[in-house]
Amino acid sequence: MGRFVVGKSRELPPGGSRSVRVDGRRVAIFNHAGRLFAVDEACPHMGADLSNGDLKEGILTCAWHGWRFRIDTGEGLTRAWARLRTYRLFREGEELVLEISDSPAASGDLQDPPPPSGGAP
Ligand code: FES
Domain extent listing, the chain? 2-100
pLDDT of residue 102: 73
29/89 Cα distance (integer angstroms):
8
Q: Alpha helix locations (H) across 8-120?
A: none
Give the distance (Å) from ligand 1 centre to CA of residue 80.
14
- CATH code that applies to domain 2-100: 2.102.10.10
Q: Tell the residue nearest (CA) to atom 4 of ligand 1.
A: 65
Q: Alpha helix locations (H) across 1-121?
A: none
| Contact between 69 and 37 (Cβ < 8 Å) | no
Give the distance (Å) from ligand 1 centre to CA of residue 81.
14
pLDDT tens digits in sequence order for the chain, 121 residues long:
799 999 999 999 999 999 999 989 999 999 999 999 999 999 999 999 999 999 999 999 999 999 999 999 999 999 999 999 999 999 999 999 999 987 655 444 443 334 344 433 3
pLDDT of residue 87: 97
* 90 ligand 1 Cβ < 6 A: no
* 62 ligand 1 Cβ < 6 A: yes
| Contact between 20 and 29 (Cβ < 8 Å) | yes
Which residues lie across from 22 on neighbouring strands? 25
